[in-house]
Chains A and B, each alone.
Chain A
Amino acid sequence: MGLTSALFLGGLLSLALPWLLHRMTAHDDKRIDVSSLYLMRPSETPANTVKKIRHPWLLATRLLLLTALCFSYAQPYLTDLLVAASERKPHRIIVIDTSVSMGAADGSSSLDQAKDQALDLLSELAVGQKAALITAATDVDLQTGLTADITAVRAAVNTIQPSEASASMSRLPARLTTLIDTLVAPTERVEVHLLSDFQASAMPHSFNQLVDGARWPLILHPVRPAPDNWGVSALTYQRDRNQLDVTIQSFAAGAASINVDLLQNDVRTGTQVAELQPFGNTLLSFDVESLRRTDRAWTVRLNLDDGLRADNVRYLAATAALGAPLPVFAPAEQPFTYIRAAVSAASGRFEPLLSDTLDDSEAPVLILLDPGVLPATADANVRRHLDRGGAVLIIAGEATRKAGRIPILDLKIAADRITQTRRGVIAADRTHPILTGFDGWRDTSVYQAVGVEGQAILTLDDNQPLLAEYPVRAGRLLLLTTALDPAWSNLVVQPGFVTWLNNTLAYLAEDMLPTDALVAQPFAIPAASVQLLDQAGKRVLSLSDSVGRPAVKVRNAGLYELRTPSHRRLLAVNVDPLEMDLRRASPELLEKWSAALANRASWASESVSAARPTDPAQTRTPLGPWLLLALAALVIIELLVANGGRSAQPSRNATV
């Protein structure tokens, strides 16, 4: 309990009690009751008729007693004077943005400028002030703890190297607070200095995420404006055309003409000249060999010396096996459109193809889109596929509902189990690989669905399965009980739909190893253990490192090879394309952010210092025992004064 606690303040109100009691028994000075004033004449000199408190010493003793009691409950302490003095000058937490964009150089890099500013801030520290160094990119890392050894902090600043991770200001204050709380003693005050290029692309959509969790004063130090920049923002393999599409984005005010090299296995296989327009995208296409049977990896490189070099290179890994056709039985066209768009938007590992017979014996997965009554030929082929250990995805729809039966499964659709009203998902088997990275089920609304029995992965709030899995013969079958139609559910219009479909196909094809990732961004590897090797064959992540880890991070861009006990997969790790845009956030936003944090920090630091648990640091001297002694003494004094007052009290019958 602190001195601002409502309980403590309420306790102080009790001080009024003895005062009122004494006031009630207050007497007029020398006031004497007389039978009548009939024969009296008033004095020419006005007499003092002010009421005086009876037994003032007793009242004072009681007030002191109650005050001491209230303070003892507030658990007061004395703070060491030196510490208190140093609190007046807050310590400095220096946070340096080390994202890719900070490597942008126009002469010296942004990171170098930030380091110089950090050194300046350190040189301003007075004796006794402490400093700490934190680097922030995708992750927030502590470089040095809060220390008075400024030399060590300066050394740490000088050794900071640019990373290839992306920056995100989203919830940065909250993340910093979590870290700073582990550094700062309850009695210490700090101010946080953030040195960054403050990219507009790193700013969150919600302003609240810039201020939520902020507890300390945050001072923003933008480095100088960013130079012109160009970079490869996208690299996609067009399986159907055997082409590699390269998207080059310009963040420069002027046009430029640059050479773009395509490398395959570190060997240049092509060069094109790109004419880049100011602040625009330029698309180049390279013809490449078919990937029907071979995994491939490409590197695209821009031959120019611009502001940021890290984004001039982009990697792409494509897996041959995953370029296989994906037979889809779809009587209606619209659901197939959704499937094709979603699969293409993922990684192109599958190539959806309409098929009436589903006779591709090589396809790992078959999809039945609202099949209704399945033709005999297709039915037989699907069953043979399942016999071979294949996988099938059935997505229900109007035709299936009219048929009243789920094909292959031979499950009858009960009329009373057809969902006709809006339903939400109330249960999800989050351990299922399909749901990895897909949280859209929380917001999924289902307007129509067919109800069948099955092991539900997603369950609607009428206890009907939305997504269920069935082992059929030697294979597996997944059933989505709603249609890929906005009239049936909002699943297809959710951002997570692509992720979900990708996961589903990968799960059914028994292949969920990723082929691409971003630097420092965690990605899931659905394998019991994994090794990650760089292009030189050096292990970046060993089996022992990854055992039990659901997600891994890679710190540098490049091409890697993922090895699991059963698969090998090329992995392309790239820098976040958002880092290419070096433009700074608007001054208004930065100003607003700075002001908001200054205001918030002023009250937050006070409340936190009051609410923090007592730290056993030696800087505090508890006053509780002394207050107890004072209480005991005051009790004795009160008794003495009270008894003395009683014995000295004149007779109440003293009248005239």
Chain B
Amino acid sequence: MSPRAAWQLETMGFTEVYDFVDGKIAWMVNGLPVEGKGPHFSMAGEVASKKGVHDCVVGSTVQESAREMEARGDSFCLVLNDEGIVLGRLREKHLDRGSSALVETVMETGPTTVRPIERAKPLLERMDKHNVSAMVVTTKKGKLVGVARRKDLRRLVEESG
């Protein structure tokens, strides 16, 4: 939407036009102040974090990822390309510690993701229902924003009432 608006302004003679591509969601999930009447609906992006998220890149081996996952005590690894796009997920069940296979050949493709503006409360309800402990959060284009953990979503929902 904003790219079209930027072009439209240029068409109307504005000469110094910027498109803030990260948008309002980036502003809000970074905890920056907003104005308005509300209500503010808590969103997944507010608790999405890369902290503690193990990722591995296309081209690495299962063995390399297995070592890293074991050392960190992780149960999964997100497989990203050079652009940070989430291509798949490697779970413990995919691991063969002696394997020199590339992660992209054994990973689970197309893991479920949500966008940062996904409302937290209904997301938490779905995660509770299906016993999902963490949800991958990406941009519309598939770039990793972080992982929203159920315990963090619950805290957010409880705090926001």
Is B one of A's binding partners? no
